[in-house]
Structure 1
Amino acid sequence: MRVALVCLGNICRSPTADVVLNAKLADAGLDDVVAESCGTGTWHLGEEMDARSAAVLTAAGYDPSRHRARHFDASWFDHDLILTMDRHNHSEVLAQLPTDRQDRVLMFRTFDPEVGAGAAVPDVPDPWYGGPQGFDTVLEIVERTCDGIVAHLTGPDGPDARRT
């Protein structure tokens, strides 16, 4: 299974989610699930993660060093699950995807346990223009949401259930 995590520039939110989700997948023994990140914009292609995001991840015990910014394009259409960080990214991804593949696109925080059932799914706030606290907030959101994703993948309705 392949999971795409999509934000705008692919240097803050989606790479943070990529690093955290891959760590949590490994901890859960989900070796057959791969998470990757990309952005809908092209201005940071090939760049490392934003230094502020990388510092927050490193302080929390994660390794952000492998990240290089990539662009969402047709090569991402075959991912099994595409999780977008905000409504703008969501609409941009849906506009590019063939209609028969749009059901695999969800807002990232669909799996956030703090979002109530039936509530509108909120964006992951973009920390780019704010202070350092914004990067801490993004990590908090990402960690608990990644826990929700792992629970979904290992639960009765996850991909392993379809194999039986």
Structure 2
Amino acid sequence: MEKKKILFVCLGNICRSPSAEAVFNGVIKKEGVSADFIVDSAGTSGWHAGEPADRRMQSHAIKRGFNLTSLSRKFDPKTDFDYFDMIIGMDDSNIENLKRMANGTADLGKIHKMTDFSQAFDYDEVPDPYYGGADGFELVLDLLEDSCEGLLDKIKKNEI
């Protein structure tokens, strides 16, 4: 079986998308299917390229057992659309940016929104916690844990 390649995308790739990468890696590790996936994250902007995840986000994630080890990078439409099977944006703005960068229907078909996989929450976006307080980082992790489990469930059921 060929590995499923998933890319999580937010604006700066320092809060939400590296957290989604770490959470999904945790979910697939717990399920014993890590070998079936390649998981990465990127940002639609390059403002933080080469930087680690936001320290506040790292701190909240570590408390839940997730280690954010990736370095920020900018989404590259020339290579990322071809390489990844699924490109999952955190909010409507990211989704619109990804759609503008897409080159045809094949690329558009790979774009999904993170909260579309949520099972327990009624949010239509994963909100950016950057300018908020601790509650925002905790909410992001709550949404990502739920949505990552939902994503794996849909993959296992061949629904996506």
Same structural fold, with TM-score higher than 0.5 when normalized by the shorter chain = yes
In structure 2, distance between residues paired with 1:93 and 1:106: 10
Q: Residue 77 of structure 1: SS of its match in structure 2?
A: helix
Q: Residue 109 of structure 2: SS of its match in structure 1?
A: helix
Q: Residue 144 of structure 1: SS of its match in structure 2?
A: helix
In structure 1, distance between residues paired with 2:158 and 2:54: 37
In structure 2, distance between residues paired with 1:26 and 1:40: 27
Shift of 1:27: 1.6
What's the counterpart of residue 55 of structure 1? 59
Shift of 1:36: 0.7
What's the counterpart of residue 148 of structure 2? 146
What's the counterpart of residue 31 of structure 2? 28
Deviation by residue 1:76-124 (Cα, 9 ceiling, x = unmatched): 11210111001111011111111132111011111001357xxxx7110
- Give structure 1 stretches of 5+ with no counterpart: 159-164
Task: Tell me the TM-score normalized by structure 2.
Answer: 0.90
Query: Is 2:51 aligned against 1:44?
Result: no
In structure 2, distance between residues paired with 1:22 and 1:46: 21
In structure 2, distance between residues paired with 1:37 and 1:122: 20
Segments ≥4 residues shifted beyond 4 Å: none
Q: Does the CA-based 8 Å contact 2:121-2:143 persist in structure 1?
A: no
Two-structure CA RMSD over aligned residues (Å):
1.4
Percent identity among equivalent residues?
A: 33
Query: Is 2:94 aligned against 1:89?
Result: yes
Shift of 1:61: 1.1
Query: Is 2:110 aligned against 1:107?
Result: no
Query: Is 2:10 aligned against 1:7?
Result: yes
Task: Tell me the TM-score normalized by structure 1.
Answer: 0.88
Deviation by residue 1:38-89 (Cα, 9 ceiling, x = unmatched): 000111000000001100111111122x210011012211210111001111
**Number of aligned pairs?**
153
Shift of 1:135: 0.2
